[in-house]
Amino acid sequence: MIFAQIFDTINTGLVVLDRQMVVHYWNRWMALHSHIQSSAIVGHNLFDFFPDLNRPHFLRNCKSVLTFGNFCFFSQKLHHYLFPMAPVGSLADHFDHMQQSCAMGPLRNASDEIEMLYLSVQDVTEVVSYQRKLMQLNQTDQLTGVYNRNYMEAHLAKEIERCKRFNHNLSLLMIDVDLFKSINDTYGHPCGDYALKAITQRINSQIRKTDALIRYGGDEFCCILTETSCQAAYKVAEQLRQTIAAPPFTFQGSQFNATISVGVASLDQQDCDLESLLKKADDALYRAKQAGRNTVT
């Protein structure tokens, strides 16, 4: 009785099941977040209330606990949640379900025989939210809001491996804002910052959600075009060039023009790694700038 009172006050879900998956204990936390009272579920099969749990992975873990006395864990990164419960508090708008870290272990009787198992459920939604924010900060350029170089190197390497494996197309655009220093010198650095943000917005409006725009450094960007041949990538690059060139940009009542030079590179069997693809795109960009800027090569 004392233990039951303690278990009803802890900020963790606790469930006790027998070998037939009949619920013998359902603490207050579980009742609060599942909206199923203890009086309604105790004495009934867990799968009658949560049929989606009746699947091989969960059953294998139950068997491992009840047969061998092992302890099992359900990682949030793999499963997100075990029991479908609504998130609570300020994070409710950011997650469809409460993110959970769950553990399962044996319960032995006086003869040291495994008689039942317990399930503990912890709400880790807030932790997951912070982790996502940290990851976003690590992968996002703070000025423009597009991906940064950290993201590009990891993402592009994965895309190259995927395209090599399945023999798919992949193209890379290296983009440079022409004479960007003159914008800063003429209109000031706040205008330069605005120009970078406005240019990224125009580029993003022309590419697909499956593509990735990255601020490579300073006034240089690159764009990863998935499932895109070299010929198709040239068309995209030319569309981007035209989109940036007109209409003019406006900052605090002043209008100014901006153009971009674009180098196009596509993956082939001779340059099937990150460094060689980047070099091809960089060399193509150099040729575009040498050709007079506001050009695609």
> Which CATH number is 71's domain given?
3.30.450.20
**Is 296 a member of any domain?**
no
Close Cβ partners of 108 (under 8 Å, ≥ 6 residues apart): 69, 114, 115
Instruction: Read off the pLDDT band of 73 (50, 70, 90).
Output: very high
pLDDT at 85 over 80: yes
Mean predicted confidence (pLDDT) in 97-104:
96
| pLDDT confidence of residue 135 | 85
Domain residues for the domain of 39 are 1-132
Q: What pLDDT is recorded for position 93?
A: 77
Whether 174 is in a domain gets the answer: yes
What pLDDT does 91 receive? Answer: 75
Per-residue pLDDT, 137: 85
Name, in order, each residue with C-beta under 8 angstroms of 248's C-beta and a sequence gap of 6 or more.
255, 256, 257
Establish how many alpha carbons lie within 13 A of residue 44's alpha carbon, considering only the half-sphere containing its beta carbon.
14
Are 147 and 222 within one domain? yes
In the predicted structure, residue 1 carries a pLDDT above the cut 60: no
pLDDT of residue 245: 96
Identify the domain boundary among 81, 114, 132. 132
Q: What is the pLDDT of residue 271?
A: 58
This prediction's pTM = 0.69
Residue 111, in any domain of the structure = yes
pLDDT at residue 2 is higher than 70: no
- Tell me what pLDDT residue 124 has: 94
218 and 148 inside one domain: yes
From 94, 110, 132, the end of a domain falls on 132
Domain co-membership, 145 together with 249: yes
The domain that holds 195 is classified in CATH as 3.30.70.270
Question: Are 122 and 149 within one domain?
Answer: no
Same domain, 126 and 149: no
Q: Indicate if 69 and 105 belong to the same structural domain.
A: yes
Q: Residue 297 domain-assigned?
A: no
